[in-house]
Amino acid sequence: MLVSRGYNIIQMAFVAISPWQWCFMVGLVALYTPLSVFSRSRILGRDGAPFNWDHYRARILTGAGLLLLAFILRFALAGLYAHITRAITL
């Protein structure tokens, strides 16, 4: 047990939100701005605001990598994570 009464915020965050959910949420936050700028430039069709891939390349790669990592972690660690959380919480 991390703490006897379960009031540790780190323990609660670990149990409530799994590692793959953290990766998924952070990946979506990283992709929000590039995808919104891309959709605005495509849908509105404005010539003055083209989408610049070079400007958002790092954020797109980071977000896509985190989303891929979220799926890999989900399939690889689901059983282990369930065992750890049962051991901590029960």
pLDDT in tens, 19-40: 889 899 999 999 998 888 877 7
Q: Which residues contact 74 (CB under 8 A, 6 or more apart)?
A: 20
pLDDT of residue 49: 64
Is the pTM value of this prediction over 0.85? no
Res 27: pLDDT = 95
Tokens of 14: 């670990």
- The larger pLDDT score, comparing residue 27 to residue 3, is at 27
Count other Cβ atoms within 10 Å, centred on residue 73. 18
pLDDT at 51 over 60: yes
In angstroms, the CA 22 to CA 65 distance is 13
Q: Give the whole-number percent of the chain exceeding pLDDT 70.
A: 76
* Section 40-66 average pLDDT: 80
